[in-house]
Amino acid sequence: MNFYQQLGFLVFGSRLKRLGDTFVNDVNRIYKDHKIPFDASWFPVFYILSEHKEISIKEISNKLNVSHSAISQLITNLQQKGYIRSVVSKKDARNKAITFTAKGEKLLQKIQPVWNALEKAMHQLTEESTHSKKILKALTAIESGIKEKNLFERIDMNL
């Protein structure tokens, strides 16, 4: 048993972060090895745009539960790279919406096979153990518990 396993819940967050970092690094390596100019951090915006074709920054922010400012920065970065653009919304001419450029659509076509392969790989990984099969349900349960009472409050109650 390694150090992290021995400490159990004391390093739960650290283990999740390490695992997440490993996943993101491996996915970015795939993009790089396949000469796809994409970064895993762009995934949420690209995925949402692939589903909606046109959406406001506020809607993206709400869907991801991330600050408007953080999404605006990511959108600006993707606009500078020429993958997305801001246009007058078809739903409401008073608002701006985000859409793919032709360059962004072309990139989307290149990354979708990676997403499919990633999903298959994750299913394979979780099928290797009976415990792994339950990870998404377990994470959802923990997230729900944190929404009801955050970790700070839970720790403070135990002091």
CB contact set of 115 (below 8 Å; sequence gap of 6+): 43, 47
> What pLDDT does 1 receive?
67
Res 2: pLDDT: 80
Which segments within the chain are labelled E, that is strand? 84-88, 96-100
Predicted pLDDT at 95: 75
- Residue 64's contacts (CB-CB under 8 Å, 6 or more residues apart) are 44, 48, 71
Residue numbers of the chain with a pLDDT score lower than 50? none
Element (H, E) at 78: helix 68-80
pLDDT for 118-149, tens place per residue?
999 999 999 998 888 888 899 899 999 999 99
pLDDT for residue 146: 93
